[in-house]
Each structure stands twice: as structure tokens, then as C-alpha cells.
Amino acid sequence: MYEKLTSILEDNSEFVKRFEHELFTFTETNPGYGWNRYGEILKSHGINWDSESMKMADVSKLSGRTVIALLMGAVRAERIFEGTFKEFLEDGDIEKWLTRLKEIDEKGDIVEQLIFAEKGDITELFVDAIVNAANKILLGGGGVDGAIHRAAGPELLAECRTLHGCQTGEAKITKGYNLSANYVIHTVGPIYSGSDKDATDLHNCYWNSLELAKENNLHSIAFPAISTGAYGYPLQAATKIAITAVRKWLEEHSDYDIQVIFSCFDEKTYTCYRRLLEQ
């Protein structure tokens, strides 16, 4: 990715058009990068879609997905304010962002490149599947469960009735209906009691959801913070289990291309995920 985009900049003639083409080609074949959501992705990292904020962004710890969002933001800004992209280029911002991509490419840590944390509404994500933190009867409820059912529409509830429930730690799949996601993977997290079984069940929620995604040839998935709401699982402990489970699954399935988003509803959850992902 770095080499292709850098070589384009060496030719000043129509470089924006060629750069944009290469960037769109990459993001269209890697939908988890969310090219059409670059503004949301930047905002989730405290970066506004404006020249000053983007220029000030510390990219040293940003994921490739967020760096792509910076590049996409610069390209799209050019369409509105001609010369903006050239300004980013001349000020060294494009080179800085591409250098960060090179660092990520050379690091070779595919697991870290495939996991992201974002703050926002999981029901609005354009991914192959979002995960619903459901209850055992799979007929809707409060929190993220209720939000997903409201956004998906009554067809989701109708299909859920055919699944005949789901046990703790297991996962089942339905269509996404009115959601931006094509599918919903429903998993039942544990009600926190402090027992060792809680951790095993929560781990299985993430593992079995990823297994189901692979079985259905899905390549991007978003998880909420399962069991940390009404079910009372301590946030930091639950976050550690979530990250560990996903990393382990990706390591054991390194031949399968899937991108994982931890969708965080509030700042506290987002901060916790960001901190633990950096460890």
C-alpha cells in the first residue's frame, strides 16, 4: 500500500486523481476500512475533518484504518476546496501518514492491523455483521439489543422467533434487514457472578461469533462491549477477555481475512479498549 501510493506522488501530473483511484481501489476491496465513514473514524480518535485538526494528529499510535481515514479525508476535501490536498502534500502531512502506513506494513503484526476500537453507534456501521448482545430468548430487550431490533425493523424479530433461543456463550445469525450491516450475529453474554465460568462464557461469545462469521464467509464484524451493561460484568475485565479472545482467534485463523471493530457506545468504554489494545 505504501509503495503504490508513494510512487504516485512522484508524478505531479494529475497526482490527486491517481492517488484517489488507488486509495478507493484499496478501500473498496477492504470494506472494513470504512472509506465512506472517514469522518466518523477520525472523530472517534478526537480528530475533526478539517485541515488544522488533521495536521495536528499524532499518527504514531494510530491504526492503518485511521491513517487511511486521514488520507481519504484529504482526498475528499480536495473535491470541495481545490488545492487542499496539495497543501497537505507540501506541508509534509501526506508523507507523514504514508510513513506511518509503511511502519504498519513492516511491523507485520497482522492481528493488530485487523482490530480497531471506535466510539459510536453500532447500528450505523457498514460491516458484514454486527454482534448483538442478546438475551436467551432472542426476542429483543434493552440496551444494544433493543437498539439493534429498533434499527433493523420487525423482520429481525420475526426471524429471531425461528431460532428458538440461544444459550449463554453461543451464537446464532440472522439477516440485518434495515441495518447498514448485512447480518446480525446474536450472542448471549453471562450475567456477572464473579465465577470462573463467567470468563469462559464471555470468551466463548467472541470466539463463537467469529466462528459463525467465518462459516458464513463474512469479512468484517463489529462487537459491542458484551455483558458490561445490565449484566454487570466489570468493564476492564470484560475488555481484557474480549481482546484476548479476538487476538487468539485471529492468530489461529491467520489465513482468513476478517476485520474486527470494538464498537464503544461511550467515552469510558472507548478509552478502556484503546488503552488495553495498546498493551
CA-nearest of 62, 31, 204 to 127 is: 31
pLDDT value, residue 116: 84
Q: What are phi and psi of 133, to 5 degrees?
A: -80, 85
Report the range of poorest mean pLDDT among 105-114, 143-152, 161-170: 105-114
pLDDT value, residue 4: 54
Asked if 246 and 221 touch (Cβ cutoff 8 Å), the reply is: no
- State the first-to-last Cα distance of the chain, in angstroms, to the nearest integer: 26
More confident site: 47 or 232: 232
pLDDT value, residue 112: 55
State yes or no: pLDDT of 8 exceeds 60. Answer: no
Its pTM stands at: 0.71
pLDDT value, residue 72: 87
Question: Which burial class, exposed, middle or buried, applies to 44 when counting CB atoms under 10 A from its CB (0-12, 13-18, 19+)?
Answer: buried
User: Mean pLDDT over residues 153-164, rounded?
Assistant: 97
CA-nearest of 223, 202, 204, 221 to 269 is: 223
In this structure, the strands spanning 183-188 and 171-175 are: antiparallel
Per residue in 177-202, pLDDT (tens digit) is 999 999 999 999 999 999 999 999 99
Per residue in 12-37, pLDDT (tens digit) is 446 667 777 777 777 666 665 656 67
